[in-house]
Structure 1
Amino acid sequence: MQHDPSGFSQAVEFAQLALTLHDAEHVDETVESVVRSAVLAVRGDAAGLVLSHRGGRLEVAAVTDPVVETIYRRQLETGEDPMLAAAAAGRPLHVPDVMTDPRWPQLSEVLSELGLRSVIHVPMLLGGRGAGILSVYAALPNAFSADDVAVTHILARHASVAVATARRQENLAQAIDARKLVGQAMGILMERYGLDGDRAFEVLKRYSQDNRTKLRDVAQHLIQTRQLPTGEAKDQVPPFTA
């Protein structure tokens, strides 16, 4: 049985790209790694990644070239949105040549003017839900093969998991940081006013509710200024009435 050296080399390269994604610790670092990896994996000329947030809000999270952000904006302006069509269908959308594809004439003209002719849009799915969209572009028509679409699809799966993991890590770090801040703020109130822990926490919570401010922000304000958000003088006892 003969081995395919080029295929083996590509497999090794792709495995390394996947490891790079999972090694990234923060969301920003992860999405930047995703778009760089996408360009390398299929030898494209540019790539971009849009993340989906709660409520359906879309965010351009990373691009390898400012031209990609221009493309995303034009899609929304013209109402011709193959990127969202791919997300709605839940499967990759490959346009071999934008100049011969009749589905998005205005956008095709824009892409051509920007020097891009081929595109792959791949939805990023996690747990059956849309997490974002990975897009890769090339200057030449028919630049991407069916194998390139498959590779981008696999990369998008890795990216979905990597981004979700990075988000969890950041949320956990923020939660730990918030607990530390609240603990320090409680200590200040306990020392200054002779409160116990439960009462000190109730004071912070009341100020958070009354000022419509996150508990973490109330705590940070107290630590930095030695005052509660309403501007109480540092030696003035806050109202402890229920």
Structure 2
Amino acid sequence: MTNNDAGDEAVLQLQDLLMGTENVEDFLGRLSEFSAATLSHSVGAEIECGVTLQRRKRTMTVAGSSPRAVTLDRIEQSLGNGPCIEALRTKSLILLADVDTDPRWPDYQLQLAANGCRSTLGVPLEIGEDAAAALNFFGADTGLFTEEIIAEAAGFADLAGRVLRLAVRIGTAQSRAEDLQAAMEHRTSIDLACGVIMAQNRCSQDEAMAILTRVSSNRNQKLRVVAAEVLRNVTGEVVRTHFEA
């Protein structure tokens, strides 16, 4: 299989993961399992994966490929610093190659060693304007995260980020479409109510709209609520407007 074929296959697998989830956190949970299995296969040894989600500058562990991966990731969250958080801050891959020799996070590294973890790799994952995530890979030995494995993890995270950003854009577009449709339906209800008032009072459209607005203000109710009541009084039932998406 060529690199392009492998990349296309990864995209399809990530899209399948996304289609089977209901929200970002659920997708990240499945992504952690898929990421750990993919790198474990490449390394030939067990790799575990935790996922840190950052929103409004706050970070939290949201998923893991195993209960131990969640525990290891939460150690970093409790201390407030480490390779995964550094990856989020710098938007770059951060390797902790050996917990015994790296001088950067001594408290964190002592706890990793106590839990049987000898090396980690933090990989940033861009989601959208107000959120980011990082994959935190854990190895039981040193020397597992070679240049080839690091490149594979980076490429995989890039693909996952693209899928997630597309999902966010689609979700935003769908939300805007739903908001627009709701606004059109409300506008039509108001226009219909104006027509009823025009017929009942033999007045102009502007005068009918002024009546609706005055009632809305006096009752402290939204204009669409008053319009719906006018239509319900005429028909005896809730009047629904329809728009095809």
Q: TM-score, normalised by structure 1?
A: 0.64
Match for residue 39 of structure 1?
Answer: 36
CA contact (8 A) 2:50 2:65 kept: yes
Q: Which runs of 5 or more residues in structure 2 are unaligned?
A: 41-45, 198-204, 231-245
* Aligned-partner SS, 2:138: strand
Can you list the C-alpha shifts for 1:50-93, whole angstroms capped at 9, x where unaligned?
3444x434454542234444434332332332212233344312
CA distance in 2, matches of 1:18, 1:135: 20
CA contact (8 A) 2:51 2:73 kept: no
CA contact (8 A) 1:41 1:152 kept: no
CA contact (8 A) 1:27 1:167 kept: no
CA contact (8 A) 1:47 1:63 kept: yes
Report sequence identity in percent.
20
Deviates more, 1:157-166 or 1:105-114: 105-114
Q: CA deviation at 1:39?
A: 0.9
Q: Which runs of 5 or more residues in structure 1 are unaligned?
A: 1-7, 212-217, 236-242
Q: TM-score, normalised by structure 2?
A: 0.63
Give matches, 1:1-242, under 5 Å: 8=1, 15-23=8-16, 24-25=18-19, 28=24, 30-43=27-40, 44-53=46-55, 55-58=56-59, 60-125=61-126, 131-192=132-193, 194=195, 234=229
Q: Which has the higher contact order (CA 8 A, sep 6+)?
A: 1
Q: CA deviation at 1:151?
A: 0.5
Q: CA deviation at 1:105?
A: 1.9
Can you list the C-alpha shifts for 1:11-44, whole angstroms capped at 9, x where unaligned?
8555422322245346536434432332122104
RMSD: 4.1
Larger Rg: 2
CA distance in 2, matches of 1:112, 1:11: 38
CA distance in 2, matches of 1:27, 1:151: 26
* Matched residues, number: 205
CA contact (8 A) 1:52 1:132 kept: yes
CA contact (8 A) 1:46 1:138 kept: yes
* Aligned-partner SS, 2:121: strand
CA contact (8 A) 2:83 2:96 kept: no
Deviates more, 1:170-179 or 1:180-189: 180-189
